[in-house]
Every structure is written in structure tokens, then in C-alpha cells.
């Protein structure tokens, strides 16, 4: 805290910008505080010496006639600055039907706070009851945005056509004792910084960080911890528990260091942002921030019953298209881009953001169009999880020109095809060429589809081939939680086994699905640890498992070195084979046409789309390499002989065969061995890629 004892003075402040801003005003250095509250009758700004202080050392009463304009309350406090802890108490009417839930005893976090700290005595249960939480309340912290040296490191600005996304959890990536990251960096921003060489060696171009907006770890049932972080307290502050010393100020500094060093390594940073709900829950949840300032401005509340709408499945739903909330979301995105140098965003349950104040889906949602067209955000990647918890599913129909989408259809169709389901081939084929059945009508770019088969939510890739049923008993919900629709298979035994035949099939299926992701048009995404068969023991909803169930086990990098080599090879090949040609075309229609896509079966130009078919083969021409490439996807359980397409003056060379043991499962373009026969015996449940070479 920056404080000169006995010299604090207050002056008339400014309503803009919102939050706590270190600045010079009235010829004094200090902090301008500004918050929104339409219906408040009294606002108190409280200054604390640190997060553990049970009482403020100074309470400032913001007088409505002096410190209020419109619906904004503000004051300038001289001779305080970076590191100053503060909070608010707000008095007003209590009328749930009008969205008024004021409690003058609650210490409130600033909605625009750049840093937040929880005292050791923080108690979510107490915060959920009426009355004072002053002693154990969370504190906001003033941050001076000009104190960090970015060293003029430019952002990578990787074209989306060249992007490979790696979804990871900051804590889980290095928290395991075998990560070789020493305390206090283990499980923190600086722990991830130490692993940049690993990410670089893998070949990914962007990390997508699971939520790091300050969240409430206690927002979980049965005395468990909220590990994933989809429980934000506010939308600006980096999560303080990922700082090496647990403080909010250090969290800001160390996150900036991480971003700067990732940028030096030419790796972009995307944030998984949660704007659809907060940790305050419904009427029974705690009052920590938004509820205490103006609940009806931030949440969808039924004006007849006072009940919170719940399209998020988490107890409340943000009123994202209401003016106050909409502006705050845009301000938060601007903050992460301009002050924190973030390169992109993945929007959790983004379809919620398309609903109006009563929850009805909007044809032209103003927030989503604002994000799509915002000049500050125009250089960022924006990715939608294009569905919500109340059944709104918008994959292929999400609004906007720039929005990219998690392609849930890709995930499901790839799983079903390789599992050997009936009637899967005809649905699988479009996924390989950018899902034109979903995206071509709107003339979207080829990268619109974010292609993945596993993510944080659901089975890991390893567990997808080891378990037919979820095993979530550790979550304390009697295995009721988590999705029952996993499209998984165990190939003869539930869980780990010593059966060599089963293990061979499982490894091959992992390679098949990874090869599909990285050879398909669109933008590929890999989830933390899938490159080395990370397992969660069949838990498909590990949101509350801050333990070895969720953590990256670094011993796998050695024991699964062959698979790691295979994934690195896939990423390297992606940059050189025809899917890279998608970057030179404006729309998916152009790409499919100019790649000369042709479909085959076991015989050239004779595709089989029958319900019983388990085979898809496709050839395409690379205008950059002046060569053809041919992909064989054999999901049938037995070997099949494929007659190879013939191109005058060319020979085929083997790039990938997932049935082969390492190192003969994948080659570089320069080392691919020649195929001397006109036909090829392809092992059951395997993926083959060949490239043509002129004689």
C-alpha cells in the first residue's frame, strides 16, 4: 500500500473511468474511485491496510449531492496509490422484484477492481447470510497500470489459419510434484512460464487458459473446491491464488510476465472468459459484488417473483444485453487486450449472451455484435462456446462475421465414426473439410470451426478410449453429475488393463482421432495432456478435483514419448500439407473448390455413404506444394485393401500410418518412404496419409 500517514485528502473526483484509477488530480497524486449504483441511497468507500484488516482505517461517506452524477458515485483520494486495499458498503432499498438487494452491512468488491484478495477468514456461508461480513470480506486492491515493463515485445499475431490452440489449466499444468517446478512457483503463473520450452517443443501457437478471472474457490458443494474457475467474482482481476505469494498485486505482475514471455516465444494467449454468470448464485448465494450494488442491472431477475433466471446452470444469469452489463463486458475485454496484452478469448456458454433481459434469444444481440465489430478487439481471436445450459444450441448459426465456434458436431461425429457407429461415415466426411454443411451457407472463413475431440469438460482423450461409463464418485454426487452422453468405448475392459490387444487398439484410436483433428480444415485445439495420455480415471466432470485426478502428470512425457513424438509430427505436418492452403482463401466454399476435394472408398472415386460403411477416403490438391495428399480413414474393425488414386507422373509416399509402431507411424515430407504398390492394405481402425511426388 502506498500511503503517507496523516496526509490523506479527498477531492471531487470524476465518474469516468470506472474502478480505481491511479492519476493526478487537483495537483495531487492519488486514486479516483468510481462505481455505478442507480438505486443506492448511500455509498461508503472503506480503506484498509491489508487484506486481513478487520476494520478500515478510513471510511469515506460519498455524499449524493457532491459525489454523485447520474447513477455514478465517485471521489478522488490523494496520497494513496498502487497496492491500496479498499471496498464499498452500499445502502438502498430491499425489493427483490425490482432487482434491489442492498445490504448496508456487506463489504463489496469493486466490479472494476484490477486485483482482489480473500482474507484467510473468508467464509462463503457467512457471505450468504444477511448482515456484516466486514472482517472476513474480500478486499479490492488498487493497481497502477503503468508500473510494468513490457520490453516492447510485440504480440505474435498468428494468422488463425496457422493457429494450433492448447487448452490448459494454470494450476493443474505444474501443480503435480513431478513437474520439477519448485515452490512457490508450482501451480502458479510463473510455473507455467517455466514450461514455455515444453509448449514450444510441442509446436502449439496459442495457449487457451481456463478461467483466471478472480473466482471463488469455495463455490462448490460438499466442502470441495472449485478447481476449474467457472465462478467469477469480477471480470478484471487475475486470480490471486495463482500468484507466487497469493496476493492480488503479485498476480497482476506475474501474469504480465507470463504473457510477455509467451509472446517472446511466439505463443499467443487466449482467455476462457465467463460473462454468463457469477459466483454470487441465486437468492441463497453470497453478496460479494454485483448483488450489493444493483442486482437488477447485472442479473436477469423475474420482476414478478424476484427469482434469478438460470440459463447458465449455475444459479444466476448475467443480463448481458442490459446497458450497464454490456458496457462492463466490453470494458473488461478492452482491459485484457490493452493493459494485459491478451490475444484472444473463448466465451464460456456464449449463447447466453444472445438472450435479452427476460431470457429470450435475440435475432441481433447488441453485445455480440459490439464485440464482433469493436476496433480495439479487431485484432483478437474470438471463440464462442455456441450453446448454453438451457438448450440454446447455435453451432453454425452464431451471430457475427468474426466469431469462431467450438464445433460440438465435429467432436461428436469424430467420436462416433472412430467408435464404429452405424450411419456415421456420411456425417463424419464434412467434418474433414471444415463442416461446409454447417458453415458454407454463411460464407464463413475456413477457420470458423474450432476442431476438437476432447476438452476440459468431459473425458480426456485417453479416457475416451478406456471407459464406457463416467466414474465421478469422487465428486460427492453419487455419480449423478457429468454428461452421460460420452460416445466413448473401452474396447473390452473398463479402465486400465494389461491386455496388449486392447491397449494397442486404444493407442491407435487416440492417434486416429488426433490425426483427424490436425488434418481437417478448421482450427485445431488440443487439451492439456492429451498428447501424453493424461487420465482422470474416468471422471468426466473434474471441476472440483484440485488433486492428481486433474493435474498434469509429467512422468507421462517420458512414458508416452512415442505418442508425444507423433503429436509433434502432426503439428509440424499441418503447417506444410494442404489444410494450410485455407489461409489464402476468403471463404470455406473457395477452399473446398480450389483444393479439388474428391471422395473415395476402397476404390478411387467410389465413396460409400451407406449406413453400414466405416470407411472414408479423401484426396485434395495443395496449390502450395503442387502435390496431392490422400487420407484414408478406416474405422472398420478388420483390415481392408484400398486401391490408390492414380495421378500421371506421380508416386505415393507414406506420411502417416497409425497402425505402425513409432517411429514409422509418422514421417516428415522430406523422409516419407515411397509406396511401390497400386494398392495398400490398411489395418482395421487406423488412419493413413499419403503425399504424391513427381517421378
Distance, in Å, from the CA atom of 406 to the CA atom of 340, rounded to the nearest integer, reads: 24
* List of E strands, 379-455: 381-384, 404-406, 449-451
* Window from 309-323, 343-357, 439-453, 505-519 with minimum mean pLDDT: 439-453
Residue 680 has pLDDT above 70, yes or no: yes
Report the pLDDT value the prediction gives residue 625, as an integer from 0 to 100: 65
Mean pLDDT (whole number) for 442-468: 93
CB–CB of 351/274 below 8 Å? no
Indicate the angle between helix axes 561-574 and 500-519, nearest 10 degrees: 20
pTM listed for this prediction: 0.96
Tell whether the model's pLDDT for residue 5 goes beyond 50: no
Q: For residue 65, how many C-alpha atoms fall within 13 Å in the half-sphere facing its CB?
A: 0
In this predicted structure, the answer to whether residue 530 has a pLDDT above a threshold of 80 is yes
pLDDT value for 582: 60
Residue 317: all three cell numbers together: 444469469
> What sign for the dihedral angle of Cα 363, 367, 371, 374?
positive
| Average pLDDT for 10-39 | 97
Q: Tell me: the pLDDT tens digits for 390-420?
A: 999 999 999 999 999 999 999 999 999 999 9
More confident of the two residues 263 and 401 = 263
Give the pairing type, strands 19-25 and 28-36: antiparallel
At 470-510, the pLDDT tens digits run: 999 999 999 999 999 999 999 999 999 999 999 999 999 99
Cell numbers at residue 349, please?
456458454
Q: What is the mean pLDDT of residues 98-125?
A: 96
Confidence of residue 135 (pLDDT cuts 50, 70, 90): confident
Whether the per-residue pLDDT at 589 is higher than 50: the answer is yes
Residue 426 three-state SS = helix
Residue 1: pLDDT over 50: no
Backbone angles phi, psi at 260, to 5 degrees: -60, -45
Q: How far apart are CA 484 and CA 48, in angstroms?
A: 48
pLDDT exceeds 70 at position 624: no
Closest CA to 644 of 676, 684, 608, 667: 676
What is the percent of the chain with per-residue pLDDT over 70, rounded to a whole number?
97
Calculate mean pLDDT across residues 135-160: 95
Q: Identify the band that residue 585 occupies on the pLDDT scale cut at 50, 70 and 90.
A: low
Catalytic residues: 348, 385
- CA dist 437 and 284 (Å) reads 44
Q: How many CB atoms lie within 10 A of CB 92?
A: 20
Amino acid at each position: 500500500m502506498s500511503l503517507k500517514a496523516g496526509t490523506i485528502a479527498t477531492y471531487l473526483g470524476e465518474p469516468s473511468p470506472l474502478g480505481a484509477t491511479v492519476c493526478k488530480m487537483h495537483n495531487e497524486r492519488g486514486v479516483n474511485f468510481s462505481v455505478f449504483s442507480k438505486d443506492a441511497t448511500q455509498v461508503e468507500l472503506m480503506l484498509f491496510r491489508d487484506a486481513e484488516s478487520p476494520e478500515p482505517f478510513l471510511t469515506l461517506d460519498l455524499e449524493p449531492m457532491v459525489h454523485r452524477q447520474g447513477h455514478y458515485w465517485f471521489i478522488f483520494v490523494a496520497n494513496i496509490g498502487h497496492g491500496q486495499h479498499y471496498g464499498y458498503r452500499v445502502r438502498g432499498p430491499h425489493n427483490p422484484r425490482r432487482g434491489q438487494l442492498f445490504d448496508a452491512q456487506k463489504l463489496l468488491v469493486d466490479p472494476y477492481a484490477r486485483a482482489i484478495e480473500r482474507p484467510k477468514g473468508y467464509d462463503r456461508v457467512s457471505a450468504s447470510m444477511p448482515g456484516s461480513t466486514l472482517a472476513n470480506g474480500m478486499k479490492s486492491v488498487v493497481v497502477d497500470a503503468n508500473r510494468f515493463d513490457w520490453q516492447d515485445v510485440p504480440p505474435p499475431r498468428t494468422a488463425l489459419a496457422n493457429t494450433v490452440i492448447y487448452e490448459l489449466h494454470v494450476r493443474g499444468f505444474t501443480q503435480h510434484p513431478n513437474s520439477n517446478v519448485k515452490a512457490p512457483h508450482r501451480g502458479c503463473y510463473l510455473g507455467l512460464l517455466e514450461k514455455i520450452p515444453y509448449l514450444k517443443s510441442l509446436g502449439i501457437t496459442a495457449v487457451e487458459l481456463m478461467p483466471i478471472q478472480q473466482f471463488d474457490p469455495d463455490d462448490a458443494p460438499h466442502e470441495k473446491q472449485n478447481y476449474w474457475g467457472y465462478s467469477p467474482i469480477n471480470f478484471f482481476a487475475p486470480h490471486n491464488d495463482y500468484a507466487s505469494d497469493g496476493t492480488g498485486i503479485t498476480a497482476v505482475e506475474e501474469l504480465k510476465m507470463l504473457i510477455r514471455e509467451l509472446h517472446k516465444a511466439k505463443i499467443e494467449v487466449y482467455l476462457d472468459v465467463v460473462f454468463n454468470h457469477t459466483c454470487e448464485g441465486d437468492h441463497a448465494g453470497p453478496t460479494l459484488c454485483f448483488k450489493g450494488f444493483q442486482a437488477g442491472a447485472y442479473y436477469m431477475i423475474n420482476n414478478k417473483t424476484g427469482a434469478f433466471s438460470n440459463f447458465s446452470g449455475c444459479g444466476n444469469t448475467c443480463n448481458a444485453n442490459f446497458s450497464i452489463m454490456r458496457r462492463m463486458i466490453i470494458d473488461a475485454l478492452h482491459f485484457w487486450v490493452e493493459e494485459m496484452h491478451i490475444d484472444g478469448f473463448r466465451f464460456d456458454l456464449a449463447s447466453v449472451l444472445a438472450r435479452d433481459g427476460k431470457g429470450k434469444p435475440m435475432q441481433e444481440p447488441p453485445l455480440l455484435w459490439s464485440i464482433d465489430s469493436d476496433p480495439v478487439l479487431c485484432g483478437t481471436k474470438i471463440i464462442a462456446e455456441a450453446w448454453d445450459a438451457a438448450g440454446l444450441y447455435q453451432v453454425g448459426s452464431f451471430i457475427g462475421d468474426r466469431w469462431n465456434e467450438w464445433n460440438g458436431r465435429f467432436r461428436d461425429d469424430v467420436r462416433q465414426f472412430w467408435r464404429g457407429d452405424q450411419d456415421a461415415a456420411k456425417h463424419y466426411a464434412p467434418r474433414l473439410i471444415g463442416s461446409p454443411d454447417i458453415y458454407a451457407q454463411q460464407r464463413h472463413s475456413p477457420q470458423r470451426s474450432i476442431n476438437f475431440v476432447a476438452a476440459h469438460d468431459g473425458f480426456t482423450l485417453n479416457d475416451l478410449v478406456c471407459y464406457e461409463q463416467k466414474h465421478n464418485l469422487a465428486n460427492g454426487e453419487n455419480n449423478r453429475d457429468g454428461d452421460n452422453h460420452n460416445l466413448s468405448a473401452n474396447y473390452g475392459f473398463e479402465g486400465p488393463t494389461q491386455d496388449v490387444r486392447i491397449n494397442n487398439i486404444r493407442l491407435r484410436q487416440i492417434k486416429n482421432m488426433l490425426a483427424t483433428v490436425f488434418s481437417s480444415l478448421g482450427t485445431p485445439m488440443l487439451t492439456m495432456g492429451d498428447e501424453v495420455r493424461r487420465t482422470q480415471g474416468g471422471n468426466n466432470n473434474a471441476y472440483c478435483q484440485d488433486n492428481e485426478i486433474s493435474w498434469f502428470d509429467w512422468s507421462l512425457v517420458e512414458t508416452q514419448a512415442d505418442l508425444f513424438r507423433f503429436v509433434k509430427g502432426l503439428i509440424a505436418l499441418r503447417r506444410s500439407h494442404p489444410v494450410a492452403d485455407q489461409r489464402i482463401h476468403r471463404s470455406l466454399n473457395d477452399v473446398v473448390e480450389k483444393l479439388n476435394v474428391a471422395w473415395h472408398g476402397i476404390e478411387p472415386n467410389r465413396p460409400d455413404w451407406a449406413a453400414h460403411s466405416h470407411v472414408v477416403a479423401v484426396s485434395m490438391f495443395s496449390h502450395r506444394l503442387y502435390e496431392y495428399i490422400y487420407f484414408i480413414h478406416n474405422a472398420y474393425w478388420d483390415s481392408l485393401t484400398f486401391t490408390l488414386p492414380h495421378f500421371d507422373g506421380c508416386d505415393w509416399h507414406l506420411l502417416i500410418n497409425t497402425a505402425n509402431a513409432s517411429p514409422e507411424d509418422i514421417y516428415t515430407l522430406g523422409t516419407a518412404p515411397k509406396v511401390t504398390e497400386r494398392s495398400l492394405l490398411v489395418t482395421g481402425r487406423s488412419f493413413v496419409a499419403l503425399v504424391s511426388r513427381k517421378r
